[in-house]
Chain A
Amino acid sequence: GESVGLHLPTLSVQEGDNSIINCAYSNSASDYFIWYKQESGKGPQFIIDIRSNMDKRQGQRVTVLLNKTVKHLSLQIAATQPGDSAVYFCAETISGGYNKLIFGAGTRLAVHP
């Protein structure tokens, strides 16, 4: 299928290296943040989330860091694999509302063997 990331910034990494994908969010009132992975021809897939009362959360090979002072999120992927190649989006929302997600622009991760 056609890539969703044709015009997105691209991060190229070697297989086995660590990847860091950054995201700036817009609303200082947002208190819940999610990272999604979108492979070509597929819908976004939930990776990890974090609430504003935390500054770090770890999953399996992924870590999300939140800096509320500068409204910045990062997604760290350890030991990047070819299967990690995709477009990554951060999304923000205000909990307790209608769960309306505001998505960032996205970053394409290209993993080279």
Chain B
Amino acid sequence: EAGVAQSPRYKIIEKRQSVAFWCNPISGHATLYWYQQILGQGPKLLIQFQNNGVVDDSQLPKDRFSAERLKGVDSTLKIQPAKLEDSAVYLCASSFGTNTQYFGPGTRLTVL
């Protein structure tokens, strides 16, 4: 079966610019997660969707980060405006209910 797809794989932007990441989960997975992984650290959950509803966004910096999953399948994560400290790998994962999470390859963001 196809895995979690993410695009772009790499993005370089100037601080204060905006950026968007896209994720397509494994078919049939109702739960979708966005994680931020800073170099040298483990992934940190930003937001979790169950179908098109948010179940946890407690660690999402809502003044600059937003995410949506309008039709309960694909999802986008946006940062506006970006800061230097947002440089990280943004990982998308999906699961069938609360079972094992499967991760995509991630998008590496560099903010200059």
Contact = CB atoms under 8 A, between A and B. Distances in A.
Q: Do A and B bind each other?
A: yes
Nearest to B97: A99
A43 to B, nearest CB: 3
B101 interface: yes
Contacts of A46: 100-102
A97 B31 CA distance: 13
A8 B40 CA distance: 6
A89 interface: yes
B42 A43 contact: no
Interface string B82-112: 0000000101010101111111111010000
B103 A44 contact: yes
Contacts of B4: 43
Q: Lowest 8 CB-CB distances: which A-B pairs, in order?
A: A103-B42, A43-B103, A7-B40, A99-B98, A44-B103, A89-B42, A98-B55, A43-B105
